[in-house]
Amino acid sequence: MIEKTVKIRNINDKNLISDDVKYWMSRSPEERVAAVDYLRRQFHGNSERLQRVVRIIQRS
C-alpha cells in the first residue's frame, strides 16, 4: 500500500531553491524541455502552439 506524504516547507528557504536548481541541472536538456512543455500544456491547453496576441493602440 502506498502511503501519502506531505511536507510543509518555507518557500523562501534558500536551500530549497538551491536543491531545485541542482535537480534540474542534473536532468538532460530533453527532460527539462519536456517538463516545461508539460506545464505549458496544463496552463494553456493541448494546443501545439502558443496563442498569438496582438494589441493595437491608436494614438491621438
pLDDT at 26 (0 to 100):
94
Q: Model confidence over 1-60: pLDDT tens digits? A: 788 888 887 878 777 778 888 899 999 999 999 999 898 888 877 766 666 788 888 887
On whether the pTM is more than 0.85, the answer is no
Assign residue 19 a region (left: φ > 0; alpha: ψ between -120 and 50; beta: otherwise). Answer: alpha
What pLDDT does 50 receive?
A: 62
What cell was used for 22? 541542482
